[in-house]
Amino acid sequence: MAQYWTFERFLEFARSYGYEFKGFWIPYRVFVNTKDPDELQWLIPVYEGKIDIEYVKKFKRWLKRKGILRNEDENGTNRPEEIA
């Protein structure tokens, strides 16, 4: 089973860490860090309104390396949806 987050769910999650949706570069959605505009942009592929869980994990690892990932987000309270 594939696991995913909806785009809306990821958008809310990214915003909670200061990242804003900047625009499209199909199939990607571009996110920028509003607190550090010099930081590289995140390109997150979205298909049919869904984001593969692997991209969510990569984003979380990045936040963890920066030392800003909250414990509740790291410990899996944001469980993915599953599709067959």
- Chain centroid to Cα 37, Å, comes to 17
| Residue spans per domain, the chain | 2-83
- pTM for this one? 0.85
pLDDT in tens, 1-49: 579 999 999 999 999 999 999 999 999 999 999 999 899 999 999 999 9
> Given a cut of 60, is residue 84 above it in pLDDT?
no
What integer pLDDT is reported at residue 12 of this predicted model? 97
> Given a cut of 70, is residue 76 above it in pLDDT?
no
* Mean pLDDT for the chain overall: 89
Can you give the C-alpha Rg of the chain in angstroms?
12
List all residues 6 or more positions away from 82 whose beta carbon is below 8 Å from its beta carbon: 1, 2, 3, 4
